[in-house]
Structure 1
Amino acid sequence: MSEKFYAKSPGNEGYIKNMEVVAYHDADNHYLFQSQLYKTADGKYYLYGGCFYGYGVEIIDVTDPANPRHVQYMPVMDPEVYPYMSTPKVQIADDLMIVSNGNCLEFLHGPAPEKYTPAPGGVHIFSLKEDPEHPKKLSFWSTGDEGNPGAGVHRFTYNGGKYLHLSATAVGFKDFIYRIVDISDPTNPHEVGRWWNPGQFYGNQTKKTREKEWNGWQGYNTYPGFVHFPYVDGDTTYLSCAGGGFKILDVSNPEWPQVIGEAKMTPPFATKFGGALCHTFMPIHGTKYAIGMQEGERQWTYNKNDFDKFGVQAMCGIEMFDISDPEDPVLISVLPYPEVPEDFPYKNFNDLGYGYPTSFGPHNLHEPMTGKPWLEDRSDRAYDCYFHAGLRVYDISDPYVPKEIAYFIPPNPEKLCFDVKMPNKPLGTAEDLVVDDRGYIYMNAMHDGVYILKCLV
């Protein structure tokens, strides 16, 4: 296999270290966001990709990773009715596929149509058991705020069993809160519990407080944050709360989630303008450690007006925590800044030639879960899609001294999947990834399909 296999065109080859590109698939020209894997009883592997700007799920047969096969792009709602909708996240376990539903974000996807019908917020539930190439629709659970659903459901966890754990909008609340939905009968899902950060419940606010909006979607300087991602392991939820830090909750009684401990992160990390500041927090299985991260942003979201307003953004990074005492999670190390290739056109990933430092940081970690045996689950390794720094692989065998060991920065996209204005040429971007139990890495590149890779170390 040629080492230039991943080149898009002469001079647009990306950057690679200690990895190999096994295959590339254009994902039927859809912009994939989160992907999930499913392994059938007879050993076939399928990749299901949600779309941050789109109306369905891309299905690819990856049984032979070197020859991925497009199966179908499966609509979950009618794009003629809902032209600005988003199906960003997918979770799969117990032969069920759950797909989140909501609307796009103007700062990220460009302006909405002048007149359009907002898509309802919620989750679609499908069965994969009968035919994984043609999922069977079982139900749709609605957030209940049809009049103003916003982004609806964003990140969530399904690790099998009775409950979905959602970051979702709700009537009477500001932004995403934590909602727990019983799907023991997947044809009749219903909410059983919820939790939120102080300041999110409108009923506790004065008119003056309610009218004070935030300065940036992460909740800068107005309230502690919104619930971005509940990662659930047994009866424990590891909650990422944007500006509110990381929290550990006891959910043994899902009707009454209880905070056990927390780690405040902002400040000093991610203080002004980023994505969901505290983005992901999850345990390293078989150890007393956890990994957490703050989200940066993509190149065009932090423009000169934002820089003039906010100034320099504080570091967004990836950290290791000792959680041997869940009441007192302790930060013990910070993973290194991504290595900059020698021939990269800019001196670092904060300086992208704009004349001011952009908002930069990691995005999505590979998320092993106990209910998904087809996923790689190593206690000595972490993977992160680091936006314009590409896919990064870390040795975390010593959590006090984590080391970067490999990377892949994809080639720059040669087309865009939605209407955004970029001040410079579009840069290759790693969005999300998942790793199977064979060691194959499936990395979604913004605007630019799926790369299938192997780590060589």
Structure 2
Amino acid sequence: MSQDLPKPDYARNLKLIGHSDQGGRPDGVQLMVNKGHAITGHMFSKGFSVVDVRDPRRPRAVNYIPAPPNTWNIHLQTFGDLLLVINAKDMFASAEFQDEKNYYSGALGEKVGTAASSPAVRNWTAGMAVYDIADPAHPRQIGFLPVAGGGIHRIWYTGGRWAYVSALLDGFTDYIFMTVDLADPTRPREGGRVWLPGMNAAAGETPSWPAHRRFGLHHATVSGTTAYGAWRDAGLVVIDVADPAAPALKLHHNWSPPFNGGTHNCLHLPARDLLVVADEAVLDDYEDGFKPIWLFDVRDPMKPISISTCPEPDDADYRRKGGHFGPHNIYENRPDGFVSDRRIFATQQNAGIRVYDIANPFRPEEIAAFVPPQPPRLMDHRPNRPRVIQSCDVYVDREGLVYANDYNGGLSILELTV
């Protein structure tokens, strides 16, 4: 291994071949690779960056686009010549969320003000920006969809007319599902909405769940005419999007309690009638307990049955390492990237990146791992944060190269050797 590359704390069947501090902004959240360029949203550096990875052994930061004041650009999507970027209140810069427990518990809309009858004055930008990335090193904004509320959290877009977003809108207690019409990408417009009954405070609905629970959509992924929504403490929400302008709730299935909630993202494997679902670990020192990556049998789409979970990393004592231990994100089989119905790529936060083989869906096996070293500095500005890695997102390109980023530790480019 080159001396210029960080030495991992642990590696098995994943070899580090390139690393970037993303132009001095090593904090990353969502990550996409488009035409040989990695584009990543920042958690604390207020915008997003572009890294030229055409030579993956020598990645080179080539652009940084700052966010509007008080605004997050943490999540984004690329496909073809379009880049979609969320704009939302910068939650982790706000006083009320310096203790992250306040972000992950209760109705977010009540804390941000979207659920109030008279919304507070807003000092952030809320909506979704559309960029032309025919030249991915130089994104050029061509459109914007404004929303009234906290903003958009995450997007699913794989080309074509429609994007699918989670949106914190005035009148609602938390993020809901919304479709976006991109027939004219310079003028995106809202299509339809879906929420769980009890979330529409403006219409007089009242929640049926305990006040400390977060019943809000993290995001949905779309497979065929079905959207699979990860609804945090509400589990799985399945939505019919055969007509994206009029999406319809099909199924709500929750396993929390007895399990610990935080459902973050879903990956449908249609050829095998399987659904992979990750529950996110959101508190330090294992305080929120075991958070699985589930495999569900969905041969009957209206009766998902859990058949197994991926094994927890056990090569070190991650429960006591500090920070979050457990799943954050799973790679979502992007159609312009690597697609597999057997290998699952996941980030396990302070336990790094893990690859699972699900040839036998009843007994998933970990086949590869990479744990970056302690970051040289802490990008997370919230009080009392430990200086540990928190591997956040993973992208796999068509050639099988693995790209992973971190809240503090920069972009790692990895070769899978098994």
State the shift of 1:284 in Å: 1.8
| Cα distance between partner residues in 1 of 2:99 and 2:136 | 30
State the shift of 1:183 in Å: 0.8
**Aligned-partner SS, 1:187:** coil
User: Percent identity between the aligned chains?
Assistant: 30
2:137 paired residue number: 133
2:229 paired residue number: 239
1:307 paired residue number: none
1:251 paired residue number: 241
Of 371, 376, 387 in structure 1, the residue corresponding to residue 338 of structure 2 is: 376
2:280 matched to 1:295? yes
| Cα distance between partner residues in 1 of 2:24 and 2:282 | 23
2:34 matched to 1:34? no
Report if the CA contact (8 A) 1:53-1:85 is conserved: no
| Cα distance between partner residues in 2 of 1:268 and 1:334 | 15
| Cα distance between partner residues in 2 of 1:4 and 1:337 | 31
Structure 1 segments unaligned to the other structure (5+ residues): 8-12, 40-44, 220-224, 272-276, 303-311, 342-347
| Cα distance between partner residues in 2 of 1:178 and 1:286 | 26
2:108 paired residue number: none
Superposed, which structure 2 residues align to 1:180-219 within 5 Å?
180-205=179-204, 214-215=211-212, 219=214
1:419 paired residue number: 381
TM-score (norm. length: structure 1): 0.80
TM-score (norm. length: structure 2): 0.88
| Cα distance between partner residues in 1 of 2:44 and 2:321 | 25
2:268 paired residue number: 283
| Cα distance between partner residues in 2 of 1:198 and 1:413 | 43
State the shift of 1:285 in Å: 4.6
Report if the CA contact (8 A) 1:376-1:438 is conserved: yes
1:395 paired residue number: 357
Question: When the two structures are aligned, how many residues end up with a matched partner?
Answer: 393
2:147 matched to 1:143? yes
**Aligned-partner SS, 1:407:** strand
1:162 paired residue number: 161
Of 276, 293, 313 in structure 2, the residue corresponding to residue 338 of structure 1 is: 313
Letter in 1 for 2:404: M
State the shift of 1:298 in Å: 5.4
State the shift of 1:282 in Å: 1.9
| Cα distance between partner residues in 2 of 1:399 and 1:362 | 18
2:113 paired residue number: none
1:222 paired residue number: none
| Cα distance between partner residues in 1 of 2:138 and 2:3 | 36
Letter in 1 for 2:178: R
Structure 2 segments unaligned to the other structure (5+ residues): 103-120
| Cα distance between partner residues in 1 of 2:99 and 2:19 | 24
State the shift of 1:117 in Å: 6.5
Q: CA RMSD in A?
A: 2.4
Of 58, 66, 75 in structure 2, the residue corresponding to residue 67 of structure 1 is: 58
| Cα distance between partner residues in 2 of 1:33 and 1:324 | 33
Deviating 4+ runs (over 6 angstroms): none
